[in-house]
Amino acid sequence: NDAQTRFRRVLLKISGEALMGDQGYGLHPPTVQRIAREVKSVHDLGVEICMVIGGGNIFRGLAGSAQGMERTTADYMGMLATVMNALAMQSSLEDLGVYTRVISAIPMDQVCEPYIRRRAVRHLEKKRVCIFAAGTGNPYFTTDTAATLRANEMSCEAIFKGTKVDGVYDKDPKKFPDARRYDRVTYNEVLTKNLGVMDASAIALARDNDLPIIVFSLDEPGGFKGILAGEGTFTTVH
């Protein structure tokens, strides 16, 4: 396959749930391996890759606080969950021969690297996949906001948000057969129509820095590489 791409540096955002396969919870190693192969196929094109993985397959701060936990403590647990997911992805990528660094917003030196911006940029230049873990390091944020923050800091050309559906729809396509997919949609439309691409702070941060968000299906084999080459269906939020 001689797919080409105009992108040189991108950030791939996936939810924690993307790693749990058909299970209701946790990590499904074959699914992690499948996504690692998607990442490798893009890495093989010479694209510099950042990743942010959520933690919702293990723990969500809001769910904890709804059950009576103190919110910030619950959020720290959610951030720790993203570190586990990042380590699982690192393991799968390195199995495939792709060098990676897990870089945490909360220092835990025995486990992974602390976030030092210039060091992360250097890793990317050396073609190491950088997996940014522990979100922004702050409670009350999400990994979507972390993805937008890191994509800006790393000067990525776009965020690729891998989901279960092939773009942004006006309503849930899994529930409504007449749901309509947008080819392009503006940040403000996403906010005013509450289209649920990412949370509002992430969308606003992308808008204010003119960072495109490309929403695509990660369930399509070869999907990530195809989308980078401009093939297949997706929605551009810009």
Binding site for ligand UDP (CB under 6 A): 15-17, 54-56, 60-62, 75, 78-79, 81-82, 135-136, 138-139, 141-144, 146
140 is in an annotated binding site: yes
Q: Regarding beta strands 9-14 and 48-53, do their DSSP bridges make them parallel or antiparallel, or are they unpaired? A: parallel
Cβ proximity to ligand UDP: between 85 and 100 the closer is 85
Cβ proximity to ligand UDP: between 149 and 229 the closer is 149
143 is in an annotated binding site: yes
Cβ proximity to ligand UDP: between 10 and 147 the closer is 147
Contact 126, 100 (CB under 8 A): no
Residue 12 sits at φ, ψ, to 5 deg, of -100, 120
Contact 206, 214 (CB under 8 A): no
Radius of gyration of the chain (CA): 17
Q: How far is the CB of 28 from ligand UDP (least distance, A)?
A: 14
Cβ proximity to ligand UDP: between 90 and 142 the closer is 142
If you write DSSP's letter for every residue of 33-97 in order, what string do you get?
A: HHHHHHHHHHHTTT-EEEEEE--TTT--HHHHHHTT--HHHHHHHHHHHHHHHHHHHHHHHHHTT
Cβ proximity to ligand UDP: between 84 and 158 the closer is 84
d(CA 155, CA 235): 21
Q: What are the distances in angstroms from CA 24 to CA 16, 52, 131, 203, 232?
A: 11, 21, 24, 28, 29
Q: How far is the CB of 149 from ligand UDP (least distance, A)?
A: 8
d(CA 79, CA 56): 10
Nearest residue to the partner ligand UDP, using Cβ: 54
N- to C-terminal Cα separation, the chain: 29
145 is in an annotated binding site: no
How many C-beta neighbours within 10 Å does residue 52 have? Answer: 29
Q: How far is the CB of 78 from ligand UDP (least distance, A)?
A: 2
Contact 203, 151 (CB under 8 A): no
169 is in an annotated binding site: yes
76 is in an annotated binding site: no
Cβ proximity to ligand UDP: between 49 and 229 the closer is 49
221 is in an annotated binding site: no
Q: How far is the CB of 44 from ligand UDP (least distance, A)?
A: 26
Token representation of residue 127: 């073609």
Q: How far is the CB of 12 from ligand UDP (least distance, A)?
A: 12
144 is in an annotated binding site: no
Q: How far is the CB of 222 from ligand UDP (least distance, A)?
A: 23
List, as residue ranges, the binding site.
13-16, 55-56, 60, 75, 136-143, 163, 169, 172
Binding residue positions for ATP: 13-16, 56, 60, 163, 169, 172
Q: Which residues are annotated as a binding site for UMP?
A: 55, 75, 136-143
